Structure 1
């Protein structure tokens, strides 16, 4: 997302912007993406519109709305996904190259233990399902995969949490545990009395701690903070799941 946003802000000056300007734009974009992790892509694109106008590099008549920028983002994302699929098929890269340390193993252990798994994302639902299928863990959720539906008033994560609580009842809300790297799911679960595990991950390394993300997740109400899923036994014990 960051490269696409930088291009949108710099416009025709993407290739000839001086180092100071490029660095200023890059810093703002990285901070924005970091702070908006977990919210709907369309809302992030609304924020991009504001950034483009704020910097004022692109003429007003060339500034797109959130839907225009989202279309550009989706096209670039599709290219990345296709490239990833090819490398997976050829064996050049493995699932572990795209997921946090031990994440899939952790999901498999929970599934074997009979835990009902739900996946909710701010990314478009079609893309969320496609990625889960391509990386081979979609079956663990047994169809319970949800994402954005193009309506900013319908927050997938909140809808899923409400649906789960409706099924299990308020008296069993302590059985609800949510893992997430965005403040949205942590805050909504905390308000509902569930257990919240904030994943303050370094997404480039796919392991180790992201300190700025850690601070935001704690403020959102995380009960526990983890950098990845390397401590499998401790996590299963926390959830009262037999290994």
Structure 2
């Protein structure tokens, strides 16, 4: 997403250093929200630069182009898994699959909410071999500007009548952490280094702490320690 946004804004005549700084700050701020909302920000910046009418800059067109590029990357990864050149774990935060398996053995309900389009989330979780761990998956609804994370939280509270004190939210974005704090759930920020799929990225850590995370982890390798701290085991 970073490279795509920089490319769009540089094509409008802005210098690279200025664009890169602005885009990096925005992505750090917006991680976890629906893709369409991020493209709405991009469209608004383009309108400001060009002083173009709102209807001339369509965030859905930016989303389609971004998704097309992202899909090409994802498809290459899927192909590498299917050819057994890579393992699913090579594209997952360290320990995450074992952690999900452990939670399932404890008969805990597991839900996934993603800002990525719903069908893409389903496909990717199946390829990664984690689809069956989840009791329900919620992704971005097609052609709608709605937050999948709000949708899931509302369902858990209002339809399943869960007590927020019995909900634990793991996430790498401030959106889900803030939502969790708002309802009174326990929140754990996942501040993984993307190049290592583990360890602590200190910029992410700072962002998640500001969002209100009760605790920060870099990966799921110490699953027993995490679950003991939560009070599950």
TM over 0.5: yes
* Counterpart position of 1:32: 26
Provide, for residues 10-62 of structure 1, a one-character-per-residue CA deviation record: whole Å limited to 9, x for no partner.
2387xxx9xxx323322222221121100010000011113334555xx959x
Alignment-derived partner of residue 130 in structure 1: 123
Measure, in 1, the Cα distance between the counterparts of 2:205 and 2:166: 24
Gaps of 5+ in 2: none
The structural deviation recorded for 1:219 is 2.0
TM-score w.r.t. the length of structure 1 is 0.86
- Equivalent runs, 1:74-113 vs 2, <5 Å: 74-113=67-106
Matches within 5 A, 1:19-58: 21-54=15-48
Moved more, 198-207 or 72-81: 198-207
Matched with 2:10 is: 10
Looking at structure 2, the residues matched to 12 and 91 of structure 1 have their Cα atoms a distance apart, in angstroms, of 42
Unpaired runs of 5+ in structure 1? none
Which of 211, 222, 226 is matched with 1:231 structurally? 222
After TM superposition, give the deviation of residue 64 of structure 1 in Å: 3.5
Distance 2:12 2:37 in 1: 24
CA distance, structure 2, for counterparts of residue 194 and residue 184 of structure 1: 13
TM-score (norm 2): 0.90
Q: Following the alignment from structure 1 to structure 2, what is the Cα–Cα distance between the partners of residues 141 and 163? A: 15
| Number of residues of Structure 1 aligned to a counterpart in Structure 2 | 231
C-alpha distance in structure 2 between counterparts of 1:167 and 1:175, whole Å? 15
